[in-house]
């Protein structure tokens, strides 16, 4: 049984006073229609018109006008630090890897290929358990539409995107 229904997402800063919260990891913050459970153990049906990337601090607007705040869940991540962090951020972006970029560190989801690349370029990489709030797409929110870049990386003719760059290391 569903207790609450939302068909609208309100971006952080455009709403106030949450009625409840919903804690979601990064991979679960891209959704269109799904039943979620709130911190107060209510069932929430999210039924959005299209698949939407939900950011930490956004809210599901309930049909009765109340709001359920979305919080980023703690999850396993890799913390990257280095004297020349900017160059490493370029390599992470070149591989379409979601990244939380801060002045003195970058957080990414665990990826042994990226970890190896970062360590070979002099970075310190350590596992951490924190909320993941990566940078949004080109317009400040949403997904970067990342995809895997393992050693056997190939793109077929119908993969949905083209590259004007190389992924050689």
What tens digit of pLDDT does each residue of 7-43 get? 999 999 999 999 999 999 999 999 999 999 999 999 9
- How many CB atoms sit inside 10 A of residue 95's CB? 19
Of 50, 72, 94, which residue constitutes the final position of a domain?
Answer: 72
What residue has token string 């939380």? 100
Percent of the chain's residues with pLDDT above 70: 80
Please indicate whether residue 108 or residue 1 has the higher confidence score (pLDDT).
Answer: 108
Question: Structure tokens of 104?
Answer: 């003195």
pLDDT above 50 (res 44): yes
Note down the domain range covering 114. 75-131
> Domain total for the chain?
2
**Residue 135: pLDDT band with limits 50, 70, 90:** confident
- Structural domain contains residue 148: no
8 & 68 share domain:
yes
The answer to pTM > 0.75 is yes
- Structural domain contains residue 166: no
**Residue 66: pLDDT band with limits 50, 70, 90:** very high
Q: What is the mean pLDDT of the chain?
A: 85
What is the DSSP-derived secondary structure letter of residue 168? -
Which distant-in-sequence residues (6+ apart) come within 8 Å of 148 by Cβ? none
**Residue 137: pLDDT band with limits 50, 70, 90:** low
138 Rama class: left (phi>0) / alpha (psi -120 to 50) / beta: alpha
What are phi and psi for residue 47, nearest 5 degrees? -135, 80
- Structural domain contains residue 46: yes
68 & 79 share domain:
no
Question: Structure tokens of 39?
Answer: 């911190």
Percent of the chain's residues with pLDDT above 90: 76
- Structural domain contains residue 26: yes
**Residue 1: pLDDT band with limits 50, 70, 90:** confident
Please indicate whether residue 147 or residue 101 has the higher confidence score (pLDDT).
Answer: 101
How many residues can be counted in the chain?
169
12 & 33 share domain:
yes
Work out the burial of residue 67: count CB atoms within 10 Å of its CB; fewer than 13 is exposed, 13-18 middle, 19 or more buried.
Answer: buried
């Amino acid at each position: 049984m569903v207790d609450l229904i939302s068909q609208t997402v309100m971006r952080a800063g455009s709403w106030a006073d949450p009625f409840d919260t919903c804690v979601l990891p990064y991979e679960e913050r891209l959704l269109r229609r799904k039943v979620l459970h709130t911190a107060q153990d209510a069932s929430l049906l999210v039924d959005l018109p299209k698949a939407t990337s939900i950011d930490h601090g956004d809210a599901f607007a309930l049909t009765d006008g109340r709001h359920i705040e979305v919080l980023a869940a703690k999850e396993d991540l890799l913390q990257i630090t280095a004297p020349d962090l900017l160059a490493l951020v370029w390599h992470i972006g070149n591989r379409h890897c979601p990244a939380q970029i801060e002045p003195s560190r970058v957080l990414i989801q665990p990826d042994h290929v990226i970890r190896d690349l970062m360590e070979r370029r002099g970075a310190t990489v350590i596992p951490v358990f924190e909320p993941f709030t990566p940078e949004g797409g080109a317009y400040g929110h949403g997904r970067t539409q990342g995809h895997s870049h393992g050693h056997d990386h190939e793109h077929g003719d119908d993969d949905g995107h083209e590259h004007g760059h190389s992924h050689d290391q």
